[in-house]
Structure 1
Amino acid sequence: MQPLRSETMSPKEEFSPAHLMGPMQYMAHEAPDMRIEGRQFTYRQLEIITNNFARVVGKGGYGIVYHGCLEDSTEVAIKVSSKSSTQGRKEFFAEVQSLTKVHHKNLVALIGYCMEGEHLALVFEYMALGCLKDHLTGRTSTAIVLSWKQRLQIVYEAAKGLDYLHTGCDIIHRDVKSSNILLGQNLEAKISDFGFSKVSGSSNRMDRGSYVGLVGTPGYIDPELSTTLRHTYKSDVYSFGVVILEILTGEPPNRNIDGDSHIAKRVASKVAKGNINAIMDPKLRGEFCQNSVWKVVDLAMRCVALSSSQRPTMVEVVLQLKECLDLETAGQPNGSIEDDVRLSSALAVKTIKFAPAAR
């Protein structure tokens, strides 16, 4: 499903000269202030690198992503802005502004760019195994069945990337989802797509870490946004909680079955029954440490709490995922039935607050 494209501008933004300009004027207005690291490509070079844009590896509201190969045989992904989309151009500049600040092994790296006339493009490192979503849903011919340990490692690495955005860069991603977590050849995970991200560098402490507007992808959007229209770090945490629920269940966020349309509501009802196997993706065939799984379920449900004040920070999410991964790696025994019942009962009480209202 495509991300939402509506966005509410703050009064300060509403009369900004940039919003009164056409696409080319807007580009000219923004470009001089850009300090883009990496190599600058001409459009002709991009045509050569992509073999005249022969292979499409992704699509979005921004435009199309093509596979390319540099002179030294390095594979790259080239995101080309749609000429007809003003929103796509806004996302281009938002992504450029964010990428000039971020440098982390769990964030997709920018290699270069093209800003030639109407041609706008970003050149990224190529992630050979595509996005996490494809492997969880099995919707592509190249999808693989990820083990529980692999899934846990992937979300742990993605969590570290998101934590870096929040604590190291003051950036709110605003479109965290499984299709924006890309996997390299060795399943290393990196967060991608910063087209909706915003720097939250307000000098006012009360406003720091928040941004007014409504963007994102249905199923991952913080329920509080329906009333506040204010993205915060905890909005990203909610979205990441949905991703954790996806790796647990193998199911999409939204599914219209028996009224339990959202994944948090579906999992909450199963937690109340205390049966971990009813929650877990059948493709895992029960091959997981129940102690680590219950801890991950608990973490996920806290992330998707309706009230942002009840959600953990990404720092806490990283620490808890590391503990769960260590537990899984150590091969701890599954624990007694009494332990499972005790933990699942505690979770059942808490999930009354966590299950979101029907969408």
Structure 2
Amino acid sequence: MSEHSRDGGKRAAGRRRRKSSRRRRALVIAAWTVAAGVLLGGVGVGWFYARLNSNIKTLDFDKALGSDRPPSADDGAMNILVLGSDSRGGDNSEYGQDDGGSARSDTAMIVHLYAGHKKAAVVSIPRDTMVNRPSCMLSNGKPDPGSSRTMFNAAFSVGGGVCTGKTVEKMWGIRVDHYIEADFTGFKKIIDTLGGVEVTTTKPIKDNFSHLNLPAGTHKLGGEEALGLVRTRHGVGDGGDLGRIQLQQAFIKALSKQVKGIGLFEDPKKLLDLADISTKSLTTDKPLGDVNSLMGLAQSLKGIDTQDMQMITLPVTTDPIDHNRVAPLPRESKMVWDALSADQPIPAEATANSTGDKGTVGEIVR
């Protein structure tokens, strides 16, 4: 079966999927890393420390990608590949079953921390972006030859996070320094343990597929509703994935503000509960796969205000061959990755003509 078939055939980038089993909305992992700073900052001794370390699943990312890679920065800047996994194993089975047994990643971001870690840039990559995927190792240890035209999120189905990272590096020449992956269920539990997240909707959002019905106004969302919000496509904009990305980016900012003001260190039980939940839900590269390393990264993220976080979608347009997909704008995409490689802000010109950053979906949630 081809990768195109595994992903369910043609589907308009601006249209909804028809099968409920396709409506997978993995979650905004930049929010996970922000939360991790609060979650892990006060935990570091005794049996609980060992328990947290044992919770974290790791990938030997550097070994798997080998030596033929873009160079690392030597000034402290770094790029983190952040994925939301939609595996239907365990508690995630309530959201439907995997087609063909494969997990997918419908949410993918490159989080760039600038030197000094006072500012960040987040580049969301639409799952329907047509790319040239390099050869990757399958889960059974056999090689896959790659594909000259395939959807970006097919890389995760073929070879997990390692194949996705390799695709990013080969396509755009930017080094993936670290990897973080999380799932549906952990996100929902974190929101519930935090006591909910307050958002303001400037327009009503109703989506029967994600069971979301929010009138305009201010709402305190529990885990189930928050999950429905970041998964929804049908209740906002034109029902496409690009609008959903804008909505997720708005939610990240709302969550980031709230996490900083919660005062978790005054509630040790909540702090430990959150640390336990978050580490159980994470898969990282090996250098990040312990509490001390995550704590160091999280402390850096903790100091970044939302106004110092530039968030864009990879510059894309309608794919000229398949109008149900999107394709990177070559010149504009190069501007994005060149800027980050040079540790510079992404120029406004890079997104001026991008379909991904048009529209006002991101203004619906504040």
TM-score scaled to structure 1, two decimals? 0.27
Bigger RCO of structures 1 and 2 (CA < 8 A, at least 6 apart): 2
- Give the TM-score taking structure 2 as reference length: 0.27
Higher strand share: 2
